[in-house]
Structure 1
Amino acid sequence: MENAIYIDSLSKEFKLYASRPGLKGAFRDLFTRNYHTKVAVDSIGFSVKQGEMVGYIGENGAGKSTTIKMLTGILTPTSGKIIVNGMNPHKDREKFVNTIGVVFGQRSQLWWDIAVQESFQLLKKVYKVSDKEYEEHMGHVIETLDIGPLLNKPVRKLSLGQRMRCELAAALVHNPPLLFLDEPTIGLDVLVKLKIRNFLKEINEKFNTTILLTTHDLSDIEALCQRVIMLDEGRVIYDGALQQLKESSDDKKELQFHFLEDINVPELEQLTIDIGVVWRKGGTMKEFIALVPAKDEKIAELIGRIVTAYKVRDMKVRETTTEEIIRNIYEKGNVVQV
């Protein structure tokens, strides 16, 4: 399987102007300016196979959007190598853009004051899509995204959810083999998100479309991507399977016990002192929560001891979410080793 994306030692630096404080500083700035260099992307490297759906995640300012802009040819790298769909995005610009689709959640590629279908027709001409190809492909896209009733409306009259579905359709007018999605579900309600996720899964299965997804909504990542690339301060700190990230993190599982009898925390701590359990009081008098290392043998041992020693009315197991795992990684500042 060939690579849709290949980058090696990719870096991007920005030269930023720093103003001096006060009136005297402003006067000095007229003659000499202070500059400093900001490294947005710091010598990163990874590859994405054709047909993969990869989540590209990180905090604000981590370098995600800068990477996307370099991969799409909007920005020129300071150094490093980029090959996307077998081409250099900056040197083969005109040919290259015909092989990608891009959706930026906070920017529009649709014309604001004209009907949606007119924007589609303009894009059809830009990408030189034949009438037959357009009808076959876009007919399915329009039906699946349920945007038929929106085609005659100006873009400015659409809600955010309606516009994002139309933006996604616009990115697929030429049925590109590679799709870049930068915050495509930002601000959308649950039903619209679900519709977009199902559609992305469908085009990936039907056309083997490669998708690189950048988002802060980790439920999108969990629903669509088996692999994640995590960025922090311009560097890749994790690249691998989402499930492996969960398993490798030193998180704990939360077990909630509702007892039929009166119990106190010291009793529970004495019973489980050698397992490494942290106990705390729950929301009701007979409810207690145990934080236990996320290892099967520890969890099994805890449950066995509790149900043997006490009468339990109910028990729930809550796994640490992907969002919590990733937040813990950033808070600790650790590179994930897997």
Structure 2
Amino acid sequence: MDAIQVQDLRKEFKAYSSRSGLKGAFRDLFTRNYKIVPAVNDISFQVKQGEMVGYIGENGAGKSTTIKMLTGILTPTSGKIIVNGMNPHKERERFVQTIGVVFGQRSQLWWDIAVQESFRLLKKVYKVSDADYNDHMDHVIKTLDIEPLLDKPVRKLSLGQRMRCELAAALIHNPPLLFLDEPTIGLDVLVKLKIRDFLKEINEKYNTTILLTTHDLTDIEALCERVIMLDEGNIIYDGALKSLKEHWAEGKEIQFEFLERAELSRLEELTSGLQVKWDLDEKNQVFTALTGDDEESVSQVIARTVAGYKVKDVKINEPSTEEIIRNIYERGMA
């Protein structure tokens, strides 16, 4: 069963412009100049129940607009959305009982009251029984390590502490679908790791579907097997993260440190006939071979180099997901 079905989804906004001068300001009182700006352009995709999908793109690509339509906050200009078997903006009251949402730059916790009081209010809003709340939230609170924070006002929490509490608040009613919009923005490494581990756990334990929007691609690599890439409101890639790396990675770098003096000309001679380009970091005496992404090319370069020189160390570096995606945006998918 699909948790999310999107077909030909479109969202347009009116962008108003002001006329110059006093006369122009007076005219603006009666008629405004505007143009229609499409934020999301007729996109279609499906997300299966239990999937963890990364929804990525540059600022202004349409990610947050899509999330707001999927959660019922915005009404689409055209197209069809079915989330958890419902239309989000037409069946809003029933629909919100089936989703959890975390916006990294917005809070659903009350600023001046203790965290546990916010939890109790949300428990009443979602009509969660005491037994279900205790059974589920005891586990969530312990896993996210927020028990010492429950009696503190939200305003006294650090960013990392607040985000862990925000995530717990979104899961009070144990929704089958979780939307995360920049959930780890500004967080330190340890807090990010804790949140990632927790998301993996709830996905495995409850088969929770997660749609993750983030600029931190290490989150995507750690959690998602599938990515949907958006550019100027259009989907330019929808598929496995692994396939994205295989098709768009520009080879591998093999770094060599030798026990004896080596020469670039000799290394080029040893690997002649192979698709390889050599470079030298003279300061550190590290030789780098840029070769193809296939295992055969890497193996051949290493074998021929080792046959000609005594090797102290070898490192194989793959392009990061961030580098690959940056290259796609800069050069296009062609």
User: By the TM > 0.5 criterion, same fold?
Assistant: yes
1:243 shift after superposition: 1.0
Is there any run of 5+ residues in structure 2 with no aligned partner, and where?
none
Aligned residues of 2:9 and 2:81 also touching (Cα < 8 A): yes
- Counterpart in 1 of 2:273? 274
- Counterpart in 2 of 1:244? 243
- Counting only pairs closer than 5 Å after superposition, residues 131-146 of structure 1 correspond to structure 2 as 131-146=130-145
- Counting only pairs closer than 5 Å after superposition, residues 82-231 of structure 1 correspond to structure 2 as 82-231=81-230
1:126 shift after superposition: 0.6
Q: Which moved more, 1:19-28 or 1:135-144?
A: 19-28
Is 1:334 aligned with 2:333?
A: yes
Is 1:260 aligned with 2:259?
A: yes
Aligned residues of 2:252 and 2:292 also touching (Cα < 8 A): yes
Aligned residues of 1:260 and 1:286 also touching (Cα < 8 A): no
Deviations along 1:117-149, one digit per CA (max 9) or x if unpaired, are 110111011111111111111111111111111
- Counterpart in 2 of 1:44? 43
SS at match of 1:9: strand
SS at match of 1:275: coil
CA distance in structure 2 between the partners assigned to 1:215 and 1:185 by the alignment: 8
SS at match of 2:5: strand
- How many residue pairs get aligned? The number is 334
1:238 shift after superposition: 1.1
CA distance in structure 1 between the partners assigned to 2:249 and 2:172 by the alignment: 44
- Counterpart in 2 of 1:64? 63
1:222 shift after superposition: 1.1
**Structure 1 pair 29/270, CA: closer, same or farther in 2 (3 Å)?**
farther
1:64 shift after superposition: 0.6
Aligned residues of 1:85 and 1:99 also touching (Cα < 8 A): yes
1:36 shift after superposition: 1.2
Q: Which moved more, 1:205-214 or 1:255-264?
A: 255-264
Aligned residues of 2:102 and 2:183 also touching (Cα < 8 A): yes
Q: Report sequence identity in percent.
A: 73
CA distance in structure 1 between the partners assigned to 2:287 and 2:100 by the alignment: 51
Q: Which moved more, 1:83-92 or 1:23-32?
A: 23-32
CA distance in structure 2 between the partners assigned to 1:273 and 1:17 by the alignment: 62
Is 1:312 aligned with 2:288?
A: no
CA distance in structure 1 between the partners assigned to 2:281 and 2:143 by the alignment: 45
SS at match of 2:190: helix
Length-normalised TM-score, structure 2: 0.96
CA distance in structure 2 between the partners assigned to 1:29 and 1:267 by the alignment: 74
CA distance in structure 2 between the partners assigned to 1:308 and 1:72 by the alignment: 60
CA distance in structure 2 between the partners assigned to 1:129 and 1:155 by the alignment: 22
1:22 shift after superposition: 5.6
* AA of the residue aligned to 1:222: E
SS at match of 2:167: helix
Length-normalised TM-score, structure 1: 0.95
Q: Which moved more, 1:262-271 or 1:129-138?
A: 262-271
SS at match of 2:106: coil
- Counterpart in 2 of 1:234? 233
CA distance in structure 1 between the partners assigned to 2:270 and 2:213 by the alignment: 46
* AA of the residue aligned to 1:205: E
CA distance in structure 1 between the partners assigned to 2:231 and 2:131 by the alignment: 45
CA distance in structure 1 between the partners assigned to 2:331 and 2:47 by the alignment: 28
* AA of the residue aligned to 1:70: M
Is there any run of 5+ residues in structure 1 with no aligned partner, and where?
none
Is 1:287 aligned with 2:286?
A: yes
Deviations along 1:197-256, one digit per CA (max 9) or x if unpaired, are 111111111111111111111111111111111111111111111111111114121110
* AA of the residue aligned to 2:108: Q
1:278 shift after superposition: 2.1
**Moved segments of 4+, more than 6 Å:** none
Deviations along 1:234-290, one digit per CA (max 9) or x if unpaired, are 111111111111111141211101123333334433443432222222253532111
CA distance in structure 1 between the partners assigned to 2:269 and 2:327 by the alignment: 29
Aligned residues of 1:261 and 1:286 also touching (Cα < 8 A): no
CA distance in structure 2 between the partners assigned to 1:241 and 1:180 by the alignment: 19
